[in-house]
Amino acid sequence: MSAEPDRVPLACLPTPLERVVGVLPERRSCLVKRDDLTGAALSGNKVRKLEYLFAEARAKGARRVLTCGGIQSNHCRATAVAAAQLGMRSVLFLRTATPPGPDDPATGNLKLDLLVGAEVRFITPEQYRDRATLMADAAGEDGYVIPEGGSNALGAWGYIRCIDELCAQWGDAPPSAIVCATGSGGTLAGLVIGLARRGVEVPCHGVAVCDDAGYFQEIVGRISAEATERWPDLPRVAPEAVSVIEGYKGRGYALSTPEERADVVRVARGSGMILDPVYTGKAFRSLLHEPERFGERPLFIHTGGIFGQLA
Ligand SMILES: Cc1ncc(COP(=O)(O)O)c(C=O)c1O
């Protein structure tokens, strides 16, 4: 098996694998990998990816990291907190059509970005299309650019390794399916590469919270190709082999419907588990509304995002 690249320990690992009862229909239960518990301010799925990305940034002598996302990006918040923890600076390119004014109170993830001293640059959705160039131009001598969501081959190691962690946790009782939210594709890519790497034949489904199946299959295929180029022992995952579930993005990225909000409330009251409005609150609905699709022992990856509830 390919040797794992260097990583900076940032996450509290292993995260718990819990059985959640009382929320799925027909008295079904599900397993939940609590990656919302990778830490406090530095929590969620991004922390696993950032362990590898920050290791490379440090190895390259970077003193600043630059990244991008929506105005309430969990990834940007995790990057800013990790940078502060490691004594580095962060520059965040945050997408918004309406930047907050100086007197508007910052909320949720943005509040934490500012608290830990991130340099925040608001950019329009049109400018966001050129984010790679914007970040490369701003990187200078000492900057390391982390792509949207930390979703590249190096970041995918976070979830390749999570599969190792899960295999140790489920032992000889694997789940019938793995389900996660997919927003920039890196978590899903890591999971499917990680499963193939260990020869584990558990179906893995990404639930699209934006865009469509073809878009995410293409991204996962691209990350996998990039990964085999860098680590030739890793298995190559073909785009058409990647399962992406559509039908749960609702009104679109970061927009909620009353039905989605009601399900988040139901899960919170039935289990104490807080889903976020942008990713997990949409993806978990696939288990609530189509449980038969995932067999008797589904496993949901709770990828975090709690600060989205405070935005
Ligand atoms: C809470 C949360 N869940 C899921 C995702 C999706 O993960 P990925 O970007 O790796 O597809 C993200 C980020 O995009 C996230 O912040």
DSSP letter, residue 99: P
Of 216 and 3, the structure prediction assigns the larger pLDDT to 216
> What atom in ligand 1 is closest to the CA of residue 148?
9
Report CA(189)–ligand 1 centroid distance (Å).
12
Question: Which CATH number is correct for 46-150, 3.30.360.10, 3.30.230.70, 1.10.150.80, 3.40.50.1100?
Answer: 3.40.50.1100
For residue 177 the two structure tokens come to 């399916």
CA–CA distances in Å: residue 51 to residues 86, 223, 245, 291:
11, 18, 28, 33
pLDDT, mean of residues 12-24: 96
Cα separation of 65 and 118, whole Å?
Answer: 10
> What atom in ligand 1 is closest to the CA of residue 44?
1
Reply yes or no on whether the pLDDT at 200 is more than 90. yes
Ligand 1 environment, Cβ below 6 A: 44-45, 74-75, 149, 151, 181-188, 276, 279-280, 303-305
pLDDT category of residue 111 using cuts at 50, 70 and 90: very high
Residue among 145, 137, 135, 74 at smallest CA distance from 302: 74
CATH, range 17-45+152-310: 3.40.50.1100
Query: Exactly one of 43, 73, 90, 224 is catalytic; which is it?
Result: 73
Report CA(78)–ligand 1 centroid distance (Å).
11
> What atom in ligand 1 is closest to the CA of residue 280?
3
The model's pLDDT over 137-175, given as tens digits with 9 standing for 90+, comes to: 999 999 999 999 999 999 999 999 999 999 999 999 999
pTM value is 0.98
Residue 127's CB: how many other CB atoms inside 10 A? 14
Residue closest via CA to ligand 1's atom 14 equals: 183
pLDDT in the model for residue 3: 76
Residue among 188, 164, 183, 293 at smallest CA distance from 241: 188
Which residues of the chain form CATH 3.40.50.1100? Answer: 17-45+152-310, 46-150
Reply yes or no on whether the pLDDT at 112 is more than 70. yes
* Catalytic residue status for 243: no
